[in-house]
Amino acid sequence: MNNFTYHNPTRIVFGKGMIREISNLIPAGSRVLLTYGGGSIKRNGVHAQVMKALAGCQVEEFGGIEPNPRYETLMKAVAQARKFNAGLLLAVGGGSVLDGTKFIAAAVRFEGGDPWDILARDKPVRNPLPIGCVMTLPATGSEMNCYAVVSRDSTQEKLAFANPLVYPQFSILDPETTYSLPRKQVANGIVDAFVHVMEQYMTYPSAAPLQDRQSEAVLRTLIEEAPRILADPPDYDARAAFMWCATNGLNGWLACGVPQDWATHMIGHEITALHGLDHAQTLAIVLPAVWKHEKERKKAKLLQYASRVWSLDSGDEDSRIAQVIEKTAAFFRSVGLPTSLHDYQLPPEIAKTVAGRLSRRGAKLGEHEAISGKEVEEILRLAY
């Protein structure tokens, strides 16, 4: 096991009806900038619940944060937060709203020049605004981590930052707020949470038997619950399990003391930046291709995963590995996500384009830092 530190100050408030707890979590009189996305929270009753709980506060709203939140949009929120003199940002929505809000929080009092440099040049952030969250889309784990991913139109970039000062102070997770989600977003969330776990698990053995089993716990739960998670009408217990899986998938706990990969995410971000695919759609395509390419380096963990999660214990090693890659891809397709670039009619040149972009940034991806331009191109050819 590798040495590690873990410190996660987010307060989780979980369950039906818990939005009302906002009134105990935010002091009366606070100046709250409520951030949200496309406005679904005004149609499904979540906005009304939030506003009722904020009755004692001064509230302004900033709506319109997109999926893959855009720097250009977020900088408008930064201007509004400064003008309003916001004391706290309350993100109400999914991972994109919260990721965008983390960037807003970091940028409002940023003194290092252009806030884009927080992302592009890893400039230090010292005094972000506090953040609260009502998470309505289980997927990113953003509700209990300090990561954010932001896109920029002008450069077609999608970049991440991490800062322990942007952990949400609290995150409210009410599974009932997910009932109005389109099926596609639920399916995306299942795949996103699943692949988060994989980025921390599917590497090489590192004498971390508990972490391995904890990752397998999330994977098995997602696989077993997926049909019920997607059921209509929504099933509270399944949605609750899903929501908790998503939080567990990326709150940092599974990463304690183990190597990590993240190649699938880095390659996927480029496909989103270039062609606008949903984040999870890119993951469903790229993950099986990364495994095909890296099957020798990931052999021990692929076999462990095959046995423990899919009960694949017969046949030779190569056949079990081929089977478990196909099982995983079939799972993604079973929830509704295609697993080939071909399914989206993306041009074959995408392999070279993405490889070139990552190469120019000096990318060395994967747990061995062994995946750079040439390998990315090979991986994307396997994804076709």
| Angstrom distance (rounded) from CA 256 to CA 254 | 6
Please, which residue, 158 or 239, has the CB nearer to a copy of itself? Answer: 239
User: Rounded to whole angstroms, what are the CA distances from 329 to 191, 282, 340?
Assistant: 10, 12, 9
Question: Total residues at the site for a copy of itself (CB under 8 A)?
Answer: 42
Which of 64, 257, 336, 356 lies at the binding interface for a copy of itself (CB under 8 A)? 257
Q: Compute the least distance from the CB of residue 328 to a copy of itself, in Å.
A: 18
| Angstrom distance (rounded) from CA 245 to CA 222 | 7
- Taking CA 174 as the corner, what is the angle to CA 215 and CA 268, rounded to the nearest 5 degrees? 45
Residue 143 is a binding residue for a copy of itself (CB under 8 A): no
| Angstrom distance (rounded) from CA 37 to CA 298 | 38
Q: Give the contacts of 253 (CB within 8 A, at least 6 positions apart).
A: 6, 8, 214
| Angstrom distance (rounded) from CA 197 to CA 44 | 30
Which of 92, 119, 208, 325 lies at the binding interface for a copy of itself (CB under 8 A)? 208
Please list every residue from 8 through 27 that binds a copy of itself, using CB under 8 A: 8-18, 21
Residue 300 is a binding residue for a copy of itself (CB under 8 A): no
| Angstrom distance (rounded) from CA 269 to CA 250 | 17
Which of 147, 161, 244, 291 lies at the binding interface for a copy of itself (CB under 8 A)? 244
Please, which residue, 8 or 340, has the CB nearer to a copy of itself? Answer: 8
Find the part of the chain contacting a copy of itself (CB under 8 A) among 102-110, 221-229, 295-303, 342-350.
221-229
The strand pair at 147-152 and 157-162 is best described as antiparallel
The number of CA neighbours under 13 Å toward the Cβ of 217 is: 13
Please, which residue, 236 or 384, has the CB nearer to a copy of itself? Answer: 236
Residue 231 is a binding residue for a copy of itself (CB under 8 A): no
Which of 211, 272, 281, 282 lies at the binding interface for a copy of itself (CB under 8 A)? 211
Please, which residue, 181 or 254, has the CB nearer to a copy of itself? Answer: 254
Q: Are 125 and 118 contacting, i.e. CB atoms less than 8 angstroms apart?
A: yes
Residue 162 is a binding residue for a copy of itself (CB under 8 A): no
Which of 52, 126, 213, 374 lies at the binding interface for a copy of itself (CB under 8 A)? 213
| Angstrom distance (rounded) from CA 43 to CA 178 | 13
Helix (H) or strand (E) holding 150: strand 147-152
Residue 343 is a binding residue for a copy of itself (CB under 8 A): no
Task: Give the footprint of a copy of itself on this chain (CB under 8 A).
Answer: 1-18, 21, 207-211, 213-214, 216-218, 220-221, 224-225, 237, 240-241, 244-245, 248, 253, 256-257
